[in-house]
Structure 1
């Protein structure tokens, strides 16, 4: 079994000398009482601008991974049935997926029934990660209950406002009482930067506050591999937030023409990340086609970026034809999850999209189905 480093970028803004030494991580897995037909697993993670991928066969419920690792990292492991001609079949099922923190050393994973029903041993990082998420789930469950309550059409305006105020308070309490408290009480935890990321929230103001918190950390934490990766992720998120100018890039069309995103300036453009092997993407494509056909004469277009791989180029071309996507520009570098544009935009799942205005500013994100249609109708009917 061989670990594949799909791509790497130079550390442009941080000192190279702070990088640590890699150590061996060995993962052994046991999938008991399997509910389903599976024969293969993929493990992948992104760190410091690089994406790593490894695979293992599932034989009699047993599997294993072994590779070098520099520091604790969150990985995703997917179990599925390999079906010829259908790469990625079954990957979207959450029961078939694990998100766990691994670290150098020996780890054991035991799943029962469903692959996602897992017990992890040998990783202090995952223990802390699990503890944090368990604390957060108490608040998240209450928020979900209030959101469901808020959908009750019989509620008065005052009751709806009160409900929203409770939700905002719970979200603030979650941030401060779980992640803020953890940061204060566990300054040397391997989950410090994960907690900081969760504390940051999604607004520019929140992220800038956390960036200031990062700058005040001791130098050994800031310059650690985790600290460097955290700062780069945060800077990247700030660059692609709503209100930011969409980073430019250029990739090739199926016929080999190099086309840049900036070539769409002057129009509203949906930057759409998808792939021929992605079931949810293919289901969303009719909505994108509908939006394009309705608003193309009002200054709207689509710029499609496929996360297909070199071996799947024919599938990509066929999907463009089958789904009616050839009316707009389609590009890819055929590097699968290491598509350089996807990495630049922090894409960790597809479909994912960004709505960009004629000046190149991001004005929307992950607009799907009717939401995409209504947003375009509101903007372009002016």
Structure 2
């Protein structure tokens, strides 16, 4: 009887261990390929590695390192572009990954990863269309933005509206899932994602955050959102955002070449300067960039200059986006993502965002885009 009890205890311990593991199955991934599990901590532009292992026979199983819910990534071969977003949380998590078809990744096991998988399946058809649209039209958007032809301007507007349609469709799905998870950990994570990517100026993030329980607000994701609200100038403790007539705060940051550049020095001798907040990972920013290129080409010889402030995390992706989008004006970045002190000083809560200033630093306009921004600059430079 005693031996039976020992066996049952051992089986019980084995079962518990199996229920708190991460199980990764792969296809077409070579043996000994490195697998890293990472998290992204607020205030740290570099990801934190919480586990490292290697694939053997297209499989890897290890003890789950997560003790509470947080955003997590699986990275293969040390290349950040080969990453899979999932929810780190206690319990059994499964990730099925095919090297040549990363969009076919399947998450499962834990409750919230099942929810995330369901959400991703719902938006997947639109995401695929959106990626194809960007690949097919990136160069065309750039070419149309540099044309003064009326038909080209209409074509540019039509393409941008098509892009917005895809984004709106994806956002509607996220809003539905957020409403269905209004006071649980999954809903809190969706709110965090929405805050980092949303251009919706009407969303009251403070009000949305207040819907969650005190316990959830004290979680890792809850504290991250609270910090983001403060950085975006939305919390009670934060300073009010800038308005037309205010003096734009001076800042100093590094160019892609590693040289320091200040706004004070940059604007000297120029009639107008556009301070353009953007990032390589920001889809709406990349679609707006052709309009900014058109603006620069139209007025660079008449007194306008532009300084881009990027909220990127990775130097390489930032530089690649500058080159691909033809952003030939001044560029700086602290590579601090949303923990950027310049964005905090300006009260930037979503990107793209911009501030049009004169040589004295007085703010003349805020968050004008496309044709509206073009006409404003034209008016001021007459």
With structure 1 as the length reference, what TM-score do the two structures score? 0.53
* Aligned match for 1:363, one of 362, 366, 377: 366
Aligned pair 1:267/2:272, yes or no? Answer: yes
| Among candidates 209, 215, 220, match of residue 214 of structure 1 | 209
CA contact (8 A) 1:31 1:115 kept: no
Indicate whether 1:109 and 2:104 are aligned: no
1:245-279 superposed Cα distances (whole Å, 9 cap, x missing partner): 8876421347775333465567331436568xxxx
Aligned pairs for 1:3-42 (under 5 A) are 27-33=22-28
Larger radius of gyration: 2
1:46 maps to 40
SS at match of 1:116: helix
2:136 matched residue in structure 1 = none
Q: Match for residue 113 of structure 2?
A: 126
Map 1:246-257 to 2 at 5 A: 249-253=251-255
Displacement after TM superposition at 1:111 (Å): 1.8
Cα distance in 1, alignment partners of residues 123 and 117 from structure 2? 10
Write the deviation string for residues 8-28 of structure 1: whole angstroms up to 9, x where unpaired. Answer: xxxxxxxxxxxxxxxxx9645
CA contact (8 A) 2:251 2:342 kept: no
Structure number with the higher strand fraction is 1
Provide the rounded CA distance (Å) in 1 between the counterparts of 2:175 and 2:326. 48
Q: State TM-score, norm by structure 2.
A: 0.53
Provide the secondary structure at the position in 2 that maps to 1:47: coil
Residue 76 of structure 1: how far off its partner (Å)? 4.0
CA shift for structure 1 position 243: 7.0
* Contact preservation (8 Å) 1:250, 1:258: yes
**Structure 2 runs not aligned, ≥5 long:** 1-19, 131-165, 235-239
Contact 1:242 1:364 (8 Å CA) reproduced = no
Write out per-residue CA displacement over residues 221-251 of structure 1, whole angstroms, 9 at most, x where no aligned residue. Answer: 3333332222333444566999798876421
Given that 2:108 and 2:117 are in contact with CA atoms closer than 8 Å, whether structure 1 keeps it comes out as: no
Describe the SS at the equivalent of 2:40. Answer: strand
Residue 294 of structure 1 and its aligned partner are, at CA, apart by 2.8
Q: Aligned Cα RMSD in Å?
A: 5.8
Distance 2:192 2:313 in 1: 29
SS in 2 for 1:193: helix
Deviation at 1:191, TM superposition (A): 0.8
Structure 1 portions without partners, runs of 5+: 1-24, 83-87, 145-166, 276-280
